[in-house]
Structure 1
């Protein structure tokens, strides 16, 4: 039997599609429809040609391995029809994305300049309320280069089980240089394995998946325009997703560990024996879904964290709890097409860091925080879309007895789609702050307002919706705030030379995700 000869798959595809098209075209078919049909036929024919060529190669391998081989040749493995079919099935799974390598990205990079043509500070957490989670609008307010690269490898087994291995690399810098040296920070933020469709899982676990490693929780969600997660659960541990506990009750269960940095121990009985220690905060999470409703409950424990001296005569908490009730709406607050999400969060002790769960080891035993997060998106006209959002929090006894922090952010992102590749984006952001640290870390009590207005001409390969990327935007922003906020602390940008409010900034930025 001689080796079969094939033309390239593309040549076969084009030939097949070209001859096949004539049988279906008619006088009522437009040229655009015929081109669309041709493209579809080319794609389908090319897939058939690749599969046929692969089948022929495997079939020939089977023929060669069963025939007589030269005496000097090593024995060849027999390729059975079943093995050929299994290999072909794997090729098909890889082409469909069910198996094989995939690559995902989030990245932003831009230049933020002040009126003096010099780089200036910025970012959604630029205000005095920023370290407390008080984000403001990000459009025209980001000076950094930040990128995430997610590498996935998916496997599917003969018994139907699936596995996925994920690694995520992330890096960020505020330098404008091509080689940033010590200013950069490269992190491996995720490394984990996840198994699903396990045939031995039955009953409530039939559709469940299990995982272990270092990861972001699958069900985190955010307010993109503020660059703020509503809730962010991450660390190293393990868990199980999608247990079906009842017809309308789906549940996740996990345990995460987060390492707190080294901290000084003040030995009050023997001052000469002061030292350093560290600890891990363990977070046990139950995340439950009832239709559109989500109920999340977290318990936290950090052994010996109460030995941490956080100043002003306070010691840190070694336990805490946190809960969130959220609604994921499939309309714009019931008033039209779009979507919205709303969440109410509360935490005590270590749980008073209500967004980055378990990430703050400086909270007191009596710390308490309550946060409200709401956003939605909709079209108000065929080429006009809007996305309002609200983020607000009040906390007490956070780092010192008697401290009290209140802040609220209102943000509105608006876009006008002018052509297929160009739109105008606008953003208005307002934040109110009433911050009383009660002497913590030398900070002063302040109260005031912050405001930002941005206009951003934006280019995209294809406009339509707030979630389409990539895009390249130019921007101009005007930012102002009450002078009292400049005295909150010397550790932030406010009040520094040339950064006292009432200023313009300009720049250009790209943002990509896929």
Structure 2
């Protein structure tokens, strides 16, 4: 990295050190996430990772070739009866290890306040932030992700059995293709014992000549399953025009007739020493310009078995495929085995220090769809590969 890229992390450390000496009234909270580690690919010059292009189609254990971190500083304080929070999150990303261009960016920078006399129970916010996200961890995919630069009011309407959030977002695009987005999020609606429903609406518009409007709807049902030590999440999502399935912007110039639909089922469990997460997903996209439909789907899961408090065996298996109309079906299967040290025996205990071996098999159609370098980017034309390495993952 260049000297410029070092300055932000060093400044962050200085701020964090200063925060440690603050009084409780002005304390700064420090938290975040990162993953890093060395890796290699059998018989190749660089390590490779295996996944099809599309949401939810890449299983991440032993299958992340980058170094990535998010580091959050936040401070809460009260002023004249109003509770405020100011937050700043930076990120560091390198697509390899110590080569290539490392980039430092800003993920979040916003202020929120609660306790205003016009709506004492509502939280108002303005800035850039992660917003309303809901994910399946094993594929690192946020099936709901309304993040962006905007302003909003959370819990501004009490629905009796749930709350309603409003948020407005704006993007400048490439400076000549700006767009606007409105999100409505009705959440925590008690539907059945242990079950809650969430409805997210999205309305988008490309504010330029040729820009298109769009709308989307996401239904999310979360079911607690205490006997399984976990729960189940089901999503049914639809979007058309310039709206994305995840509640964000799609293609603001999308032709009329562009639409997508997705169904996702995800289960998480912890039964004694055995923990895990699994998902099944199907999705269909239609391009409004060409009329071409593309169908994709995946099924897979990760399981961990604790042999002791701090040592567990972790395995992950996934199969994905993708098929455009009148095109060949792209197929990929991937398996990872990872002996792991952790702070505890549970599936979610972090940090984890892992050794891993990953093997994958795919077909020629997957190579062709990925471009000249093929699915791995190496360009050797192979349809199977094995990678190995070590990785740390932590959130704090």
TM-score band w.r.t. shorter chain: 0.7 to 0.9
Three-state SS of the structure 2 residue aligned to 1:484 is helix
TM-superposed CA distance for 1:215, in Å, is 1.1
Q: Which residue of 1 aligns with 2:390?
A: 508
C-alpha distance in structure 2 between counterparts of 1:492 and 1:396, whole Å:
27
Instruction: Confirm or deny: 8 A CA contact 1:471 1:512 kept in the other structure.
Output: yes
Normalized per residue, the structure richer in strand is: 2
Report 1:92-241 matches (<5 A): 94=25, 100-116=27-43, 118-122=45-49, 126-127=51-52, 130=53, 132-159=54-81, 161-177=82-98, 180=99, 183-198=101-116, 200-201=117-118, 205-217=119-131, 219-241=132-154
Q: 1:192 to 1:369 in 2, by over 3 A?
A: same
Instruction: Confirm or deny: 8 A CA contact 1:446 1:488 kept in the other structure.
Output: no
Q: Find 2:303's aligned residue among 394, 408, 414.
A: 414
Q: Which residue of 2 aligns with 1:294?
A: 198
Q: Supply the RMSD in Å over aligned alpha carbons.
A: 2.2
C-alpha distance in structure 1 between counterparts of 2:256 and 2:108, whole Å:
31
Q: Find 2:322's aligned residue among 426, 430, 433.
A: 433
Report 1:26-425 matches (<5 A): 94=25, 100-116=27-43, 118-122=45-49, 126-127=51-52, 130=53, 132-159=54-81, 161-177=82-98, 180=99, 183-198=101-116, 200-201=117-118, 205-217=119-131, 219-261=132-174, 278-289=176-187, 290-291=189-190, 292-304=196-208, 306=210, 317-331=211-225, 336-351=228-243, 353-355=244-246, 357-361=248-252, 363-380=254-271, 382-397=272-287, 400-425=289-314
Q: Find 2:346's aligned residue among 465, 469, 493.
A: 465
TM-superposed CA distance for 1:158, in Å, is 5.0
TM-score normalized with structure 2 length:
0.87
Q: 1:378 to 1:282 in 2, by over 3 A?
A: same
Instruction: Confirm or deny: 8 A CA contact 2:368 2:374 kept in the other structure.
Output: no
In our comparison, the structure showing a higher alpha carbon Rg is 1
C-alpha distance in structure 2 between counterparts of 1:134 and 1:328, whole Å:
19
TM-score normalized with structure 1 length:
0.68
Structure 1 unmatched ranges of 5 or more = 1-89, 263-277, 307-316, 439-444
Instruction: Confirm or deny: 8 A CA contact 1:153 1:165 kept in the other structure.
Output: yes
Instruction: Confirm or deny: 8 A CA contact 2:57 2:297 kept in the other structure.
Output: no
TM-superposed CA distance for 1:103, in Å, is 0.8
TM-superposed CA distance for 1:450, in Å, is 0.8
What whole-Å deviation, never above 9, does each CA across 1:21-78 have from its counterpart, x for those lacking one?
A: xxxxxxxxxxxxxxxxxxxxxxxxxxxxxxxxxxxxxxxxxxxxxxxxxxxxxxxxxx
Three-state SS of the structure 1 residue aligned to 2:366 is helix
Q: 1:183 to 1:356 in 2, by over 3 A?
A: farther
Q: Which residue of 2 aligns with 1:442?
A: none
Structure 2 unmatched ranges of 5 or more = 1-21, 191-195
C-alpha distance in structure 2 between counterparts of 1:338 and 1:134, whole Å:
21
C-alpha distance in structure 2 between counterparts of 1:247 and 1:206, whole Å:
16
TM-superposed CA distance for 1:321, in Å, is 0.6
Q: Which residue of 1 aligns with 2:380?
A: 498
Q: 1:358 to 1:216 in 2, by over 3 A?
A: same
TM-superposed CA distance for 1:488, in Å, is 2.4
C-alpha distance in structure 2 between counterparts of 1:491 and 1:305, whole Å:
34
TM-superposed CA distance for 1:111, in Å, is 2.4
C-alpha distance in structure 2 between counterparts of 1:330 and 1:150, whole Å:
29
Which structure has more relative contact order (CA 8 Å, sep 6+)? It is 2
Instruction: Confirm or deny: 8 A CA contact 2:322 2:329 kept in the other structure.
Output: yes
Instruction: Confirm or deny: 8 A CA contact 1:110 1:142 kept in the other structure.
Output: no
Q: Which residue of 2 aligns with 1:76?
A: none
Three-state SS of the structure 2 residue aligned to 1:330 is strand
Instruction: Confirm or deny: 8 A CA contact 1:100 1:155 kept in the other structure.
Output: no
TM-superposed CA distance for 1:162, in Å, is 0.7
Three-state SS of the structure 2 residue aligned to 1:150 is strand
TM-superposed CA distance for 1:336, in Å, is 3.6
Instruction: Confirm or deny: 8 A CA contact 1:111 1:507 kept in the other structure.
Output: yes
What whole-Å deviation, never above 9, does each CA across 1:232-283 have from its counterpart, x for those lacking one?
A: 1111110000124332131000101123226xxxxxxxxxxxxxxx122211
Q: Which residue of 2 aligns with 1:454?
A: 336
Instruction: Confirm or deny: 8 A CA contact 1:473 1:508 kept in the other structure.
Output: yes
TM-superposed CA distance for 1:206, in Å, is 3.0
Q: 1:192 to 1:281 in 2, by over 3 A?
A: same
Runs of 4+ in 1 over 3 A off after TM superposition: 359-362
Q: 1:258 to 1:207 in 2, by over 3 A?
A: same
Q: Which residue of 1 aligns with 2:7?
A: none
C-alpha distance in structure 2 between counterparts of 1:458 and 1:468, whole Å:
11
Normalized per residue, the structure richer in helix is: 1
What whole-Å deviation, never above 9, does each CA across 1:129-150 have from its counterpart, x for those lacking one?
A: x1x3242210111110001111
Three-state SS of the structure 1 residue aligned to 2:268 is strand
TM-superposed CA distance for 1:117, in Å, is 5.5
